[in-house]
Structure 1
Amino acid sequence: MQKPSIFFLIPLLLLLSPLSTLAALNGRCTGSKATGDYKQSGICIKTSTCKKYKGTTKDGACPYDPDDVKCCLIDNCAPSPDGDLGPHSYCEWTSDKDSICNEFGVWFNNRCPGGDNYKCCEIP
């Protein structure tokens, strides 16, 4: 009998790995607790990062992440060296087709945690 190929074993091991490896740090909030604004705009980040950005956290919306990672909603974008944004700014996923920012707002870089697809939107 021939031994299994290493190329067969690697995908099999990945499939059998625990769900904790599916953590989505800097990803969208998910699960049954991710509803309303949290599902639309929330990001799974460390609670310390959420606090730094003056966001609010929601438990249970980042189900495969470690305990110190929670869904964070940021209502006012972080200031920049050239000043604060108005009161109508928030962090949101740029890929959301229904975002009001695509029609009426302005996207700003480097005002929100996460990657390039999670930015600050200001409605003037």
Structure 2
Amino acid sequence: MKAFSIVLLAATLTLAAINDPCTAGSTPGICLTTASCSSSGGTSHVGFCPNDPTNVQCCTKSCGAGGVCRFTSSCTSGNTVSGLCPGPDNFKCCLPASSGCGAPAVNAATIALIKKFEGFVASPSPDPIGLPTVGYGHLCQTKNCAEVPFSFPLTEAEASTLLNSDLKTYEACITKDIVSSVRLNDNQYGALCSWAFNEGCGAAGSSTLIARLNAGQDPDAVAAQELPKWDIAGGKVLQGLVNRRAAEVALFKTPSSVIAHPPHC
């Protein structure tokens, strides 16, 4: 009888379903302890993880814009975002196919940093390496910067509007180039957008910095080691770039509880 009890206990333990999929009604979930579920903002449902202890229940959670936490193998849209759901790495926020996470706008600290180092230029003028720019670092794309939707000289308010518009390109490429498993606060994200704005999306996307972040290395260490390398323009080291990179590293290392990447829809 004792041997039978041991076998029965072993079988019960084998059937334990922590981190296994479950379904509460029609909503997919994951078997987790109620404490883990509640701490992540999820809802526990009794009776859908029958082989586990009473404190292990089916945890469900809504996420993003119309999304629900589920295992990636069952996310038919293929549109998943990491960092929003409890449980293992393959339990992610599954968004509808038509829904996308747009790149968030950078924060005020980032705007202030960019304005400080770009400087305000009211009318098109060569930058330190001879490229025609206007406003806060807008690189002219046509003769006399004809693409700018304002007349010259610009006001500072117009230059700010132009900067916010220009930044959308760099916010989008940083968001796209960094994998969703990398979590960045708004200061870290902003520092990288400032860097991309200065160096270009192509250079940023093919950089060792982005590759190291995507490989899961410590973000603060990566930024501190990689950003200072980007201090050359026109074939020579520029003190302005040395100073800017130092400011971007300082911003990157400034603590914040606001998560900017992966974007929350």
* Bin of the TM-score, shorter chain as denominator length: 0.5 to 0.7
Q: State the AA in 2 paired with 1:93.
A: F
Q: Offset of 1:89 from its aligned partner?
A: 2.6
Pair 1:25-2:18 in alignment: yes
The correspondence of residues 45-64 of structure 1 with structure 2, limited to 5 A, is 45-64=32-51
**Partner of 1:90 in structure 2?**
68
Q: Which of the two has higher C-alpha Rg?
A: 2
TM-score, length of structure 1 as denominator length: 0.62
- Choose from 109, 115, 121 the match for 2:82: 109
Q: Return 5+ residue gaps in structure 2 as ranges.
A: 100-265
Matched residue count: 92
Deviation at 1:91, TM superposition (A): 0.7
Unaligned runs of 5+ in 1: 1-12, 77-84
Return the alpha-carbon distance in structure 2 between the equivalents of residues 54 and 110 of structure 1: 12
Helix, strand or coil at the partner of 1:101: coil
Normalising by the residue count of structure 2, what TM-score does the alignment of the two structures yield? 0.31
Q: Alignment RMSD, CA only?
A: 2.5
1:18-42 deviations in whole A, cap 9, x for unaligned?
Answer: 2430211111126xxx5422xxx21
Counterpart in 1 of 2:226?
none
Which letter does structure 1 place at the counterpart of 2:43?
T
Offset of residue 109 of structure 1: 2.0
% same residue: 36
Q: Which amino acid aligns with 2:94?
A: C
Alpha-carbon deviations, 1:3-62, whole Å to 9, x = none? xxxxxxxxxx9x9242430211111126xxx5422xxx2100011111122222211100
* 1:116 Cα deviation from its structure 2 partner: 2.4
**Bigger relative CO (Cα 8 Å, ≥ 6 apart):** 1
Q: Which amino acid aligns with 2:26?
A: G
* Match in the other structure for 1:8: none
The one-letter amino acid of 1:92's match is: R
- Cα distance in structure 2, aligned partners of 1:67 and 1:16: 21
- Name the residue aligned to 1:36: 26
Q: Distance in 1 between matches of 2:36 and 2:67?
A: 18
Question: Runs of at least 4 residues of structure 1 off by over 6 A?
Answer: none
Match among 3, 7, 12 for residue 16 of structure 1: 7
Distance 1:44 1:89 in 2: 19
